[in-house]
């Protein structure tokens, strides 16, 4: 075995929970194994896509030789700086919001809701550490995978180097993910800023927080920090938050932010940032006028860039774009037929569940599609996604603009939660179920749900689309009463009522005479 010599990834604070996390996902005493003479599959990157590919291939019991390479933390963004930590603090922020809003339910909250920010972050670190064993280096070693900690680069058509040691492969998979993008704003780097990769290391709450970017990451964290007691200002270059989402859905979230007294600066251009004794001064222009806002911390949530650097992709003929990532076809095959890619490195869908689904396609296409027969396609996936604001926005399928571009004649059914009994009881009426179908058919083309737990509800519609079940089938599904998911059935019932034409009524009336 060879000793892995590298700078240990910095996790702050280095308390018992982060030390436990490191012991699983980047053991300081890890010994890289002696490489096999030849690997059936070498996977670069141990985020979601890489872990699923490696575990899926090794877990089939076929004796395949699989190697997995990770230069930083196993588990990737999702475990360490993404899904897991963000949802932990979002949950804490919702608890604080519920207490503040308790009066509307006849419950008298205290005059001042005290948030122990250090305890919120400690809880997050504890949960993250408790989950981390699932993605641990030792677990994957026990699955029969050779785990190498270190930086990888392609040497030639059939070899990858890790810390000077070469791994020969039959097929390779690139799953190196993406990272936060820093806007090119003069003074921002010098003043210092946070990203999703560093914000979860905070132990003290910033009193004044600027969030650059009004997309999903920016909005989720902005609302969470605001509810935890920070004075939050969102600066967004476009005229509306979440502008890639359904416009009606985005408007509900934006209005909720305004009700919570978050400061929204829209249609603005960042000019410069300066560190002063009063704080970090952000200078921006809006409608031709220059303004300033002073904050203690700046959180950048303005996009992602693929991790293509250092892989020496040119040596193996893998084409890539520094902004869009590695070029793949519908089978997730790169321009080198022996090398595949999956996850954020090559896909527009930058979600953990999308990386998981793509990894399963890669397993099939690299190992079980001789002569290209039976290959899976990325385009065959029905992909839902959720923005975890409060309320959440969940979507699956096409947006109306996309359906029209594809030539569909559409009709949209919209059920406001103000007409759903459980939403009324929950005091959560600011939302809706919107289902778009092909006009003259019950074929579901897309759906958007805005609700506090929209992410838990969207899977029913996802299943219907994936299995080619239409609105008629959803109408026939019995939903427990009272639940907010009844809004889906109401939408399906609304479609069924459109079938009740005068001719249909006449036929039904005739049936009653013989019944």
Q: What angle do CA 131, 132, 133 make, to 5 degrees?
A: 100
Binding positions for FAD:
87, 344
Binding positions for NAD(+):
213-220, 303
Are the CB atoms for 433 and 487 separated by under 8 Å?
yes
CB atoms within 10 A of CB 479: 16
CA-wise closest residue to 273 among 210, 194, 185: 185
CA–CA distance, 143 with 58 (Å, rounded to integer): 7
Q: What angle do CA 461, 453, 354 make, to 5 degrees?
A: 55
Within a 13 Å sphere around the CA of 197, how many CA atoms are in the beta-carbon half? 16
Binding positions:
87, 213-220, 303, 344
Three-class SS string for 433-496?
EEEEEECCCCCEEEEEEEECCHHHHHHHHHHHHHCCCCHHHHHCCCCCCCCCCHHHHHHHHHHH
What helix, strand, coil percent values describe the chain, rounded to 5? 35, 25, 40
Residue 300 burial (CB < 10 Å; 0-12/13-18/19+)?
buried
Cα 307 to Cα 181, 192, 210, 426: the distances in Å are: 11, 22, 26, 44
Three-class SS string for 123-168?
HHHHHHHHHHHHHCHHHHHHCCCEEEECCEEEEECCEEEECCEEEE
Max CA separation in the chain (angstroms): 88
User: β-pairing, 66-70 with 146-149?
Assistant: parallel
Please provide the DSSP assignment of 276-312 as one string.
ETTEEEEEEEETTEEEEEEESEEEE-S-EEE--TTS-
**Both tokens of residue 89?**
């603090």
Are the CB atoms for 436 and 398 separated by under 8 Å?
yes
**In this structure, what DSSP letter does residue 35 have?**
P
Are the CB atoms for 458 and 465 separated by under 8 Å?
no
CA–CA distance, 346 with 361 (Å, rounded to integer): 14
């Amino acid at each position: 075995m060879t000793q892995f010599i590298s700078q240990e990834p910095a996790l702050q604070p280095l308390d018992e929970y982060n030390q436990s996390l490191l012991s699983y996902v980047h053991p300081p005493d890890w010994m890289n194994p002696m490489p096999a003479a030849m690997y059936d599959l070498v996977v670069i990157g141990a985020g979601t896509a890489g872990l699923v590919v490696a575990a899926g291939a090794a877990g089939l019991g076929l004796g395949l030789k699989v190697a997995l390479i990770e230069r930083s933390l196993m588990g990737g963004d999702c475990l360490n700086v993404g899904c897991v930590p963000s949802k932990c603090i979002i949950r804490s922020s919702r608890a604080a919001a519920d207490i503040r809003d308790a009066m509307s339910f006849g419950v008298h909250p205290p005059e001042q809701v005290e948030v122990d920010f250090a305890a919120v972050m400690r809880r997050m670190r504890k949960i993250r550490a408790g989950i981390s064993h699932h993605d641990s280096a030792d677990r994957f070693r026990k699955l029969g995978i050779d785990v190498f900690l270190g930086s990888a680069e392609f040497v030639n058509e059939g070899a990858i180097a890790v810390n000077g040691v070469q791994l020969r492969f039959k097929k390779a998979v690139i799953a190196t993910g993406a990272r936060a993008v820093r806007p090119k704003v003069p003074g921002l780097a010098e003043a210092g800023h946070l990203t999703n990769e560093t914000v979860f290391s905070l132990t003290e709450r910033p009193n004044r927080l600027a969030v650059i970017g009004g997309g999903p990451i920016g909005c989720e964290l902005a609302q969470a920090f605001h509810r935890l007691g920070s004075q939050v200002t969102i600066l967004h270059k476009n005229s509306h938050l979440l502008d890639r989402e359904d416009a009606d859905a985005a408007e509900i979230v934006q209005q909720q932010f305004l009700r919570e007294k978050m400061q929204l600066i829209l249609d603005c251009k960042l000019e410069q940032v300066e560190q002063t004794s009063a704080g970090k001064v952000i200078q921006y222009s809006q409608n031709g006028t220059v303004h300033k806002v002073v904050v203690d911390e700046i959180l950048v949530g303005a996009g992602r860039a693929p991790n293509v650097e250092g892989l020496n992709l040119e040596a193996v003929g893998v084409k890539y774009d520094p902004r869009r990532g590695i070029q793949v076809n519908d089978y997730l095959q790169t321009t080198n037929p022996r090398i595949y890619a999956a996850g954020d490195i090559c896909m527009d869908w930058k979600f953990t569940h999308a990386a998981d689904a793509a990894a399963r396609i890669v397993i099939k296409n690299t190992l079980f599609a001789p002569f290209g027969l039976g290959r899976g396609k990325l385009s065959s996936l029905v992909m839902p996604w959720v923005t975890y604001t409060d309320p959440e926005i969940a979507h699956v399928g096409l947006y109306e603009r996309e359906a029209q571009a594809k030539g569909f004649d559409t009709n949209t059914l919209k059920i406001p939660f103000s007409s759903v009994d459980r939403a009324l009881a929950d005091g959560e009426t600011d939302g809706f179920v919107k289902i778009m179908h092909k006009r003259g058919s019950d074929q579901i083309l897309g759906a958007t749900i805005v609700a506090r737990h929209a992410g838990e509800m969207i899977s029913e519609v996802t299943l219907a689309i994936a299995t080619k079940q239409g609105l008629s089938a959803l109408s026939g599904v019995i939903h427990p009463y009272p639940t907010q998911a009844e809004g889906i059935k109401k939408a399906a019932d609304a479609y069924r009522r459109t079938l009740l034409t005068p001719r249909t009524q006449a036929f039904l009336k005739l049936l009653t005479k013989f019944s």
